[in-house]
Amino acid sequence: MASHRITQPRETIPSSRRIAAAVAISFFAFAQSQPSMAEDASKTANASTLRICAAAKELPYSADDRSGFENKIAEILADGLGRKAEFVWSQKPAIYAVRDQLDKNLCDVIIGTDTSDDRVLTSKPYYRAAYVFIQRKDSPLKIDSWNSPDLAKAHPIGFVQGTPAEVMMTKLDLYNDNINYVSSLTNFKDKRNSYTRVPPERMVVEVAEKKSDLAVGFAPEVARYVKANDALKMIVIPDDNVRSDGVPVPHHFDQSFAVRKDDKDLMAAINTALPKVQTKIEAVLKDEGIPFEAPQPPT
């Protein structure tokens, strides 16, 4: 599920990749107009299949041709459970998957959710991913953290609003100088009362074509496009960042599978299967070019 799509309101510390969509999440028209869909879908659930909540058009995470890396992970998980993967496609972005799919019993599992997401029951984490800087390899700017002096020389800088990058850009007084450029990445589409995704491929290509000196993105969302261009590199951002008031701004996030809170039997089965499929999952991440690390031990 494209886990770095932030769902928290903008004044809170962002989670991984889920973009702030507090207003959009309040739209109930779709949910109210589909009462029979959940009933019909619930009748199709059975022990031989794993119904996966999936976005039809949200690469590199998911696509209805199963080319997303999370589609591949879903198939690995299903196989580990001895089930067949059944994708339940949505034309909406994955930020709506909990509300419009999982909670409606249209599907049973979401791939790539922040382990800390309290809307759902999450599995043991299967990898930890970070935010990264994206630069050309031939860039004269030396940027490896938010404390790098050369950050002040980079212009423009691409980033996604509602993510840790926005918090740090604001702290460093770089936000106002770059927000017009960031808006151009979505062709200045009006974001009021709606969710507008910054195309990760476009943000990466802008750096490759020297239209941007730097971009900041969630590694799983941008790695595929960086890997495809030999002129580019990713630098993992250290996870030691704080706001101006000293509050931590996490940049590394554990990723889990998610089910409904009352679906404890399925979650137990997933956690049992995880050790058997971990190596295959990591092979997908490596093939995607995603720099990943071991999840943090529980606190």
- pLDDT tens figures, 44-56: 567 899 999 999 9
pLDDT digits (tens, 9 = 90+) for 144-156: 999 999 999 999 9
Q: What does the alpha-carbon distance between residue 166 and residue 120 come to, in Å, rounded to a whole number? A: 26
pLDDT (0 to 100) of residue 10: 34
Note the Cα 131 to chain centre separation in Å: 10
Task: Identify whether 298 is part of a domain.
Answer: no
Domain limits for position 270: 4-127+254-293
Q: How far apart are the first and last CA of the chain?
A: 25
pTM for this entry: 0.87
23/27 Cα distance (integer angstroms): 7
User: In terms of domains, do 134 and 47 share one?
Assistant: no
Report the candidate in 159, 126, 154, 131 with the shortest Cα–Cα distance to residue 240.
Answer: 131
Q: With respect to residue 20, please indicate whether it lies within any of the assigned structural domains.
A: yes
Return the residue matching tokens 């599907």. Answer: 107
Q: Are residues 224 and 147 in the same domain?
A: yes
Q: Compute the chain's Rg from CA coordinates.
A: 19
What is the predicted pLDDT for the residue at 299? Answer: 64
Domain count of the fold of the chain? 2
Token duo for residue 166:
């926005």
Distance (Å, whole) CA 116 – CA 139: 36
pLDDT score for 46: 74
Residue 15, pLDDT score: 64
User: How far lies 57's CA from each of 46, 98, 107, 132, 174, in Å?
Assistant: 26, 17, 17, 23, 32
Widest Cα–Cα separation across the chain: 59
Give the Cα separation of 242 and 152 in Å (integer).
18
Instruction: Report d(CA 261, CA 11) in Å as an integer.
Output: 26
pLDDT of residue 17: 57
Q: For residue 89, give the H/E element and its range.
A: strand 84-90
**What pLDDT, on a 0 to 100 scale, did the predictor assign at position 43?**
44
In this structure, are 196 and 224 located in the same domain? yes
Asked whether residue 108 falls in the same domain as residue 160, the answer is: no
**Do 162 and 214 fall into the same domain?**
yes
In the chain, which residues have pLDDT < 70? 1-45, 190-194, 299
